[in-house]
A and B are shown apart, each in its own frame.
Chain A
Amino acid sequence: AQTVTQSQPEMSVQEAETVTLSCTYDTSESDYYLFWYKQPPSRQMILVIRQEAYKQQNATENRFSVNFQKAAKSFSLKISDSQLGDAAMYFCAYRSASDSWGKLQFGAGTQVVVTP
C-alpha cells in the first residue's frame, strides 16, 4: 500500500514571503497522480494543484508551484508571495493510475500560518 508522509506539522511564513511544504510518498508504481489540497478553517477541501507522474514538467498554478522529483518520490509545494488567505491546512495526496475508483491516500497535513 502507498503511504504519504508530510513531515512538517506546522510552517510559519510572513506575508509576501515564500514557504515550501514537503511531501514524500512510497510506491512501487510508475504511473500515478499527486495532488495538493488546501483546507482553510471553513474545512472545505480545495484543490490547489495536481501533477501527473508521467509529466516531467512541474505543475504551476499562479503563486503555487511544485517540485516533483519522481526518483526521490518527493512532491513539495511552494507558495510564493504568501497571503493571509493562504493560512490553512495543506494535504498532499496520492492516487494510483491503476485504481479504477480513484481512491486518494492523504498525508497527515501541514498547518500553514501566515503572519502579517
Chain B
Amino acid sequence: GAVVSQHPSRVICKSGTSVKIECRSLDFQATTMFWYRQFPKQSLMLMATSNEGSKATYEQGVEKDKFLINHASLTLSTLTVTSAHPEDSSFYICSAALVGGGNQPQHFGDGTRLSIL
C-alpha cells in the first residue's frame, strides 16, 4: 500500500517551455504533499509544502512564480515549472503524507528528471 505515482519520469524540452509534473497518491488520501529538488550526489532539498485546497508554502529562496504548485484534491498535486531555463534542469521528487500524520512516513514518487535544452 501507500503508492505515490509521479508523472512524467523524464522530460526534455526547449528553454522557455512550461512543464507540468503530476504527483498522485494511488491508494490513500494525502492532505499534504511535498516537492523536492535534488542535484546529483546531493540530498533532497524541500521546495514547497502543498496542502489540499490551500496555497502552497514555499521554502526560502524558492520562486513561487517559477514553480507553481496546485493541490486540487486529496490525491493529486501538480508542480509547473514556468518558462523553464537550463538552470531549472534537475531531478524533482514528490512525496505524500497520510492523513493524520503522526509517525507515518512520507511516501515518495519515483521522481522526474527534467532537462532543459
Whether B103 pairs with A91 at a CB distance below 8 angstroms is no
Whether A45 pairs with B103 at a CB distance below 8 angstroms is no
A109 CA to B38 CA, complexed, in Å: 12
Whether A91 pairs with B105 at a CB distance below 8 angstroms is no
Whether A50 pairs with B49 at a CB distance below 8 angstroms is no
A108 CA to B57 CA, complexed, in Å: 23
A89 CA to B38 CA, complexed, in Å: 13
Whether B32 pairs with A109 at a CB distance below 8 angstroms is no
Whether B105 pairs with A44 at a CB distance below 8 angstroms is no
Spell out B's residues near A (CB within 8 Å). 32, 34, 38, 41-44, 46, 49, 51, 57, 91, 93, 95, 97, 101, 103-108, 110-111
Whether B104 pairs with A109 at a CB distance below 8 angstroms is no
Q: Decide: A101 near B111, CB < 8 A? Known: A33-B103, A108-B42.
A: no
Spell out A's residues near B (CB within 8 Å). 33, 35, 37, 42-47, 50, 52, 89, 91, 100-104, 106-109, 111
Q: Decide: A50 near B111, CB < 8 A? Known: A45-B95, A101-B97.
A: no
Whether B93 pairs with A45 at a CB distance below 8 angstroms is yes
The residues of B that contact A109 with a CB separation of less than 8 Å are 42-43
A42 CA to B57 CA, complexed, in Å: 29
Of listed A45, A52, A107, residue having the most chain B CB within 10 A: A45
What is the minimal beta-carbon distance from B81 to any residue of chain A, in angstroms? 18
What is the minimal beta-carbon distance from A2 to any residue of chain B, in angstroms? 13
A102 CA to B33 CA, complexed, in Å: 10
The residues of B that contact A89 with a CB separation of less than 8 Å are 41
The residues of A that contact B110 with a CB separation of less than 8 Å are 42-44
The residues of B that contact A106 with a CB separation of less than 8 Å are 43-44
